[in-house]
Every structure is written in C-alpha cells, then in structure tokens.
Amino acid sequence: MHLSENEGIEGNTFVVTGGLGFVGSALCLELLRRGARQVRAFDCRPTSPWSHDLASHGVRCIQGDLVRKKDVEKAISGADCVFHLASYGMSGKEMLQFGRADEVNINGTCHVLEACVQYEVRRLVYVSTYNVVYGGKEILNGNESLPYFPIDDHVDSYGRSKSIAEQLVLKSNGRPFKNRNGKCLYTCAIRPAAIYGPGEERHLPRIMSLAKLGLLLFRIGDPSVKSDWIYIDNLVLALILGSMGLLDDIPKQGYHPVAAGQAYFVSDGSPINSFEFLRPLLRSVGYDIPNTSLAVPHALVLGKIFGAVYTVLHPWLHKWWLPQPLILPAEVYKVGVTHYFSFLKAKQELGYVPMVTPKEGMAATMSYWQERKRKTLDGPTIYTWLFCVIGMITMFCAAYLPEIGPVPLLRAISLFFFRSMFSIRVVFLISAGLHIGESIYAWKLAKRVDPANAKGWFWQTFALGIFSLRYLLKRAK
C-alpha cells in the first residue's frame, strides 16, 4: 500500500477494546496523534497505569465487560473502526481459568462482531496470537499458509479460544449490513510475537519478580532455541497499517481491500533465544539468567505439576495473595521450542517494516526498568525471608510457648544450636531488639532517600533486620 500516514484515521472514530492495557493505551494515543476525531478505550478495569495519560489526551474511557452484549454495543455504536485487543488467559493463573477465557475470547468476540454489523462499522482489526498455528511443534520461518493448530491439541485455553475467535473474525469478513445498502464489514487479524517495551505488564514484571525472589532457577531448552519478539511501537504500527488495509475507497484498490479476510504475522524480524534476549535487561537491574538448563520434557513435567496444584486451587485463582505458578506447560513450549515467523506478507501487502530495532527497543525497556527499580522497594531473595521469619518464629516458640503441638520439636532444634533455654531466650531478645532498632533506623533513613516506600522499608526491615537494611544503605550511598 502507498498511503499517507493518516489515511483512514483523520476525522474517524475508533474503539479499542482492552484500551486501558499496555498495547491498547499506546494504540489510543497514536490514533489521536494521527488525527482521529474520537478514540474510545473500552476495558473492564476502571483504571490502569495509563488511565490518567489517556484521559488527559482526550481518550474517552468506557468501563464494561466483553461478555455483556449491551456494554459492547454501547461502546461500538457510531464507530468507524474497531481494534479488538481485549483477551483473557495469556499467562500465569489466568491460563487455568478456562471458563473465563472462553467467555471473553470467544463470546466476547462474537459480541464485537454482532455490534459491528448492527452499527455498520466498516473495519475490524483483531489482535490474535502465534498460538493459533503453534502448539509446541518446531516452526522455522513460518508464514500465513500454515494451517490452524488442531483445536483439541492445544494445551491451554488461551491458544484454543483465540484460534476459534480468529476464525470467527476472518469468516465474518464481507458480512453485509442488515439494511442491505451494499456495504459490509471488513476484517483482518494481526498475529504479534511476544510483546515487550517500557510498561509491559504481563511477562516482564513476572520475570523480574521471580529474579528478585531468587526463583529464576533454570533456563528451559537448548540455547539454540529461537522465537520472535516485537517492540510495542512496531506492533502499534502494524495495527494501524492493518486498519488502512481494510479501506475500500483507495484508488487502484477498488472493490476489495487488500487486508480483507487476511491474517498477518508481525515481529521485530530478529529471532533470538528468549533467555539471551532477556539477559541484558536482567543484568541492567542486578539480576542474571541462570546457567542451569532444564530439558523440555522435564520442564513439561514440572509445568504439569504446577498446573495440577493450581487447578485444585481454582476457587482462589483470582485472589491477589495466591502467587503466580512458576511455569505451566504452554509457557514451556513458548520458550523451549523454536518457533519464529516471517513478516514478509505484512511487508508486501501492508507496508509493515519495524521502525524500532531490537537494540533500541531493549535500551528503552532497560531504562524503564532501571528507573522503576529505583522507585520500588528492593530486597533479598525468598530464601532469606524463609530463613529469617522461620528462624525468629522457631526461637520464640522454643523460648516461651508451652509443650504443645510442634513446640517440643522446635525447642529440641533450638537447644541443639544454643545448648540451654537461657541462651535461646537471650538470643531471641537480642535479635528482636536489633530488628526493632534497625527497622526504626530504616524508616528514618527511607524518609530521606526513598520517602514513597518508607513504610515498606520499616516492615521489611522489621522482619529481616540487616538483610533488608543493607539494601537501603546501598541505595542511600
């Protein structure tokens, strides 16, 4: 396509489902920058880290749920183009909430399609996933001619439901409007690689959290395994080009938009081992990728164990206090088996070429995480937490509680190390006094060097003593 950069955008109204998310917010702002008349961000969340920025730039934020048809109709009425980004179940605990994933990804997509036809929306761009054709079998430089991965063979509800939803979207291309005016809905699907960039909220925070706690224990698969990544700006460009490819009033294009009914793989175009890709980012904030490697079959066994345990915990999967599983089978396949795709079709038909190189994208991401670490509470690994908390509880029980339950065992363990009850009590009192004193000092020091997290430093140092205080002293220095 040879179009101006604002073709089909200036003066038009856009709806972005999932508009308060990382990708959705970036797309909303870019549409406004290019001259859109109105942009609506439709999301089930009332707020997000980008809400204020969106509102200040004039984005209309609409709260609603894709599974409620009336909410979808309210958001889409009067739109010229819809970007359907909202989905559920991409990673972590969400992957095990099968019912919700089907409701949002399949039923929600049906509601979007019906609303587009009802309100005569001419263009619908659907954000899909590599997983519609990939399910754990190696793919080298794949393209859009690959068949859909068999529905029943998907190991996760996300890949299965997104595959069904994409097929529904593409089969709805050319669907005529109800008033028989000769016009119809045009659709296309963009299949992005793993997304990264400053503010990414799904994968990178989880990886950083594991690294901070010392739970990034091993790599998965052979070092030669490669997969694709895509920087946020490149993905936003691909989505906008997809919407332009659905225009039906372009000279020499005539009756059939070039992107109508088509799917496109998009990436940075530089396949790389995921662990090597993340290594510079982790090192920039003081962590590193482990040298220990776990073979894919063994990692799958571990993933299935976590999947079984978290399935038992299904009623509490949405609770904040239940941590994310270490790994799940679908995530093993994502990082442990080679799969990368060509974006040649997107380049030839849409004019897509990555604007930001992987080096530039990673530099921006590293800068963001370095700044974020400076603003957040730092601390030791989970092993230090277990040592300090369990140690203090053990000494307290051994020193002061009566001989009930596990107390005799805890007292015997303490006596093995300290030899007498008097020594146990003295050591506990000294340790408790030091923790209290260190926590008060940490609070006063944090009020000067990190006031936003002063309370956090107090309680963390109260629990861990010098093991927490040394991080604050390092920051103060």
Torsion on CA atoms 130, 136, 140, 143, rounded to nearest 10: -30
For residue 412, the 8-state DSSP code is H
Q: What SS3 class is residue 337?
A: coil
Specify the pairing of strand 13-17 against strand 81-84: parallel
Catalytic position from the list 130, 134, 158, 333: 158
Q: Do residues 225 and 273 lie in contact, with contact meaning Cβ atoms separated by under 8 Å?
A: yes
Q: Shortest CA distance to 445 belongs to which of 416, 474, 424, 423?
A: 474
Task: Show the tokens assigned to 177.
Answer: 């409007």
Tell me whether residue 383 is one of the annotated catalytic residues.
no
Q: How far is residue 308 from each of residues 153, 248, 303, 304, 317, measured CA to CA in Å? A: 18, 50, 9, 6, 13
Place of tokens 């490669």: 226
Q: Which helix (H) or strand (E) holds 423?
A: helix 421-449
Q: Which helix (H) or strand (E) holds 63?
A: strand 60-63
DSSP 159-207: HHHHHHHHHHHHHTTTEEPTT-SS-EEEEEEEEE-EEESTT--SHHHHH
Task: Show the tokens assigned to 311.
Answer: 């399935």
Q: What SS3 class is residue 264?
A: strand
Q: Catalytic residue positions?
A: 158
